[in-house]
Amino acid sequence: MRTLFVVFGKEFLENLRDRRTLLSALLFGPLFGPILFGFMVSRMLEQNVVESDVPVKLTISGSRYAPGLTRYLEGQGIKLTKKDLSENEARAAVRGGSSQVVLLVTEDYPRLFAEAKPAPILLIADSADSQTRKIADRARAILGSYGSGIAQLRLQMRGVSPLLALPVAVNEVDVATPTGRAVVVLGFMTYFVLFALLMGGLYLAIDSTAGERERGSLEALLSLPVARAALVGGKVLATCAYMCISLGLSLTAFVCVFRFVPLERLGMSANLGFHTALIFFAICLPFVPLGATLMTLVASFTRSYREAQTYLTTVLLVPTLPIAFASIYSLKTKSSLMFIPSLSQHLLMTSVLRDERIFLRDVLVSAGASLAIALLLFVFTARHWRRESMLG
């Protein structure tokens, strides 16, 4: 036990003096996620604002043939630019980008309209451009409502109830709560939290194993009268400590970032105060020893710092896999999924964000499964350290 604490103390102190460890554990890991995240959300907010507040601009050609339509469009708040273009000119204008969407009213329009036959309008847009597509969609919707308005009038004039033309009345009801909508955005957040957690211990896991071998201090250490399991235990414990610090910093940074990002403007409320952050910390805590032993085990097999770095970068991706699956199959918190580490932490955190009830049993299963795997990995690691091949 004493050995464990001696090793822990030395590894903790040594890495506290290492700039690389500090940068990744206490700066890059914890802050990368929240900052990127705040940026992403702010950007989304800006775009939404653009879509709903800025009036749609259309270029209309041949508006003199359809004065009624022109008035209607202007009445809907659309900014019309009136031009006289042939069809080819209109296509070229859209393709060249001088006009985003062009409405082309042809000469036949007034005659066919008067005869109550389908009067042609060309809507020219580039569907490969997401910005134009949105404008075209809005134009299509407005044209549709203009058309059905005219149709109703025509039916009325012929003594037919316009309701006959409306066999089904569709009313959409959106049950998403403001918090629920935010979850789509906040779903990424859980990954960043787990990423920061692993980043915190990455360099220490490398330094205390492959680093020890590379700088040639390993053999002297292994020839001391101490149990190898205690050596590994101290190293894993120090790695855990850095991971906890990183996790704490990351959550704090998230809380701060969300103070400044006006989520309410998206019709969302972020359920992320310090209280939630504490719950997150508790949920993630059992994942810490799992990550630490996994990284220590992998790094123990490598010969050099560089090799360890290569392998561990892959390990950093491991927690993404279950989370990716979860979003592809839109998995929800279920007891059976609580046995899968990283996925269970992700689901529990998402549930907390959604303001859903979480069950103590699920939390315990999630923690138990992670800790059991951590213990298993620790036994493997300690056994590997007892091998002769450890000397390299």
Binding stretches for other proteins (CB under 8 A):
2-3, 6-7, 10, 13-15, 17-18, 215-226, 388, 391
Residue closer to other proteins, measured from CB, 119 or 202: 202
Residue closer to other proteins, measured from CB, 7 or 349: 7
Tokens found for residue 336: 């059976």
SS3 call for 364: helix
Burial class of residue 144, CB neighbours in 10 A (0-12, 13-18, 19+)? exposed
Residue closer to other proteins, measured from CB, 121 or 206: 206
Residue closer to other proteins, measured from CB, 23 or 176: 23
* Phi, psi dihedral angles at 265 (to 5 degrees): -65, -20
Q: How far is the CB of 294 from other proteins (least distance, A)?
A: 24
Residue closer to other proteins, measured from CB, 88 or 223: 223
Q: Which residues pair with 105 in a beta bridge?
A: 121
CA 142, 147, 150, 152 torsion: positive or negative? Answer: negative
- CA distances (Å), origin 355, targets 162, 192, 334, 337, 352: 46, 20, 16, 19, 5
CA dist 39 and 305 (Å) reads: 33
By the 8 A CB rule, do 374 and 346 touch? no
Q: How far is the CB of 310 from other proteins (least distance, A)?
A: 22
Residue closer to other proteins, measured from CB, 35 or 227: 227
DSSP strand pairing (121-124 vs 102-105) = antiparallel
Q: How far is the CB of 299 from other proteins (least distance, A)?
A: 17
Q: Which residues pair with 57 in a beta bridge?
A: 79
Please report which residue ranges of the chain form alpha helices under DSSP H: 2-16, 19-22, 29-53, 67-75, 87-96, 109-114, 130-157, 178-206, 212-214, 218-222, 228-260, 274-284, 287-300, 305-317, 320-328, 343-353, 360-386
Q: How far is the CB of 26 from other proteins (least distance, A)?
A: 16
According to DSSP, residue 100 is labeled S
Q: How far is the CB of 8 from other proteins (least distance, A)?
A: 11
Q: How far is the CB of 244 from other proteins (least distance, A)?
A: 21
Q: How far is the CB of 223 from other proteins (least distance, A)?
A: 4
Contacts 24+ apart (CB under 8 A), 9-12: 10/234, 11/204, 11/207, 11/208, 11/234, 11/235, 11/238, 11/239, 12/238, 12/241, 12/242
Work out the angle at residue 361's Cα, subtended by the Cα atoms of residues 358 and 366, and round it to the nearest 5 degrees: 85
Q: How far is the CB of 316 from other proteins (least distance, A)?
A: 24
Q: How far is the CB of 308 from other proteins (least distance, A)?
A: 16
Residue closer to other proteins, measured from CB, 218 or 343: 218
Other CB atoms within 10 Å distance of the CB of residue 158: 8
Residue closer to other proteins, measured from CB, 106 or 304: 304
Residue closer to other proteins, measured from CB, 55 or 225: 225
Q: How far is the CB of 6 from other proteins (least distance, A)?
A: 4
